[in-house]
Structure 1
Amino acid sequence: MRLLCAVLAALALLTGCTTVTAGTPTMGPVDNEWRNAVIDAVVQLGTALGPVGDAMSSDDYPALQTSCRDLGTYLDTMERKVLPGPDPNVNSALRDGIDGYREVATMCEALTPTSTPADLQQLSIAIDGADKRIKDALKLLGVEIPKR
Structure 2
Amino acid sequence: MKLTVLKQHTLKCFLILACIICSTSNVKAQKQTRLAPFKLVIKHNTNHDFTLTSLKGTIWKNLSFTLKSDTPQVIDEYGLLSSGTTSKVAPPNLTDFLFTITKTADGVLLKGLEGTTWTELSFSLPKNSKQLFTHKGMVK
Using structure 1 for the length normalisation, give the TM-score. Answer: 0.28
More helix by share: 1
Q: Which has the higher contact order (CA 8 A, sep 6+)?
A: 1
Using structure 2 for the length normalisation, give the TM-score. Answer: 0.29
Structure number with larger C-alpha Rg: 2
